[in-house]
Amino acid sequence: MTRRTLAVVSAGLSQPSSTRLLADQLAAATRDELVRRGAEVRLDVVELREHAHDVVNHLLTGFPSASLRTALDAVAGADGVIAVTPIFSASYSGLFKSFFDVLDSGALAGTPVLVGATGGTARHSLALEHAVRPLFGYLRAVVVPTGVYAAGADWSGDTADGALRDRILHAGAELAEQVDRRPASVGPADPFALTTDFAQLLGGGREE
């Protein structure tokens, strides 16, 4: 049985938070589909609120605290990532962006990512497509076609089987498929690994 790891990043600030609720439902949908495909799945949830001060400290000092390092490694080493942010002022929240700013460059290259967002009303829904999706495009992640936006009204339906539910299941299946078709992640890259040797370094700087 293949072992798979999903990192679930939630930038919700209140507790309980609808952002976390959406992240959990997306994670469950993805996990269920991967299990159906025969994988064993571990979920690593990263609540950014718990790392807020450490994220800012990393921006200032250039290195992460031990607990933030664990969170960054979980994301960099995951087979798939679910990233959910509240929409603030027409875009992702500053905390959400700052977390991905301090992630090592290249950490998400080729990693399947499912993006989600929450907001008070449906008027903000396209921020997911115009702000969140390009961010992960820049990070060279493989963003699945379906992004999931949930407004306040989506949580107040009489049943749990509305349009949002369908969209969550659809997106989760897309992420599961992307994860399933790739070899298992070998973990985060080692920044201290020597990838060259001196003959190559010296040769590179010399005109023959």
Partner 1 sequence: MQFGVFTVGDVTVDPTTGREPTERERIKAMVAIALKAEEVGLDVFATGEHHNPPFVPSSPTTMLGYIAARTERLLLSTATTLITTNDPVKIAEDYAMLQHLADGRVDLMMGRGNTGPVYPWFGQDIRNGIPLAIENYDLLRRLWREDVVDWKGRFRTPLQSFTSTPRPLDGVPPFVWHGSIRSPEIAEQAAYYGDGFFANHIFWPKEHTQRMVGLYRQRFAHYGHGTPEQAIVGLGGQVFMRKNSQDAMREFRPYFDNAPVYGHGPSLEDFSRETPLTVGSPQQVIDRTLGFREYVGDYQRQLFLLDHAGLPLKTVLEQLDILGEEVVPVLRREFDSLRRAQVPEAPTHAALVAARDAAAAGTGAPR
Tokens (6 digits) for 43: 């979920």
**Residue choice 28, 42, 57, 133 for contact with partner 1 (CB under 8 A):** 57
* DSSP H stretches of helix in the chain: 18-36, 52-61, 66-76, 94-102, 127, 133-138, 163-180, 198-204
Question: From the CB of 89, what's the least distance to partner 1, in Å?
Answer: 24
* 204 touches partner 1 by CB under 8 A: yes
Cα 203 to Cα 193: distance, rounded to the nearest angstrom:
20
* Binding status of residue 192 toward partner 1 by CB under 8 A: yes
| Beta carbons of 139 and 100 less than 8 angstroms apart | yes
Q: Is 61 in the site for partner 1 (CB under 8 A)?
A: yes
Q: What is the sign, positive or negative, of the torsion defined by CA atoms of 73, 9, 134, 161?
A: positive
104 touches partner 1 (CB under 8 A): no
Q: Which is nearer to partner 1, 71 or 144 (CB)?
A: 71
Candidate residues 16, 38, 62, 183; the one interacting with partner 1 per rule CB under 8 A:
62
Least CB distance to partner 1 at residue 94 (A): 17
Site for partner 1 in 74-103 (CB under 8 A): none
202 contributes a contact to partner 1 by CB under 8 A: yes
Q: Does 105 bind partner 1 (CB under 8 A)?
A: no
Q: Give the Å distances, CA to CA, from 9 to 38, 46, 78, 123.
A: 24, 5, 11, 23
The footprint of partner 1 (CB under 8 A) covers 56-57, 60-63, 65-66, 191-198, 201-202, 204-207
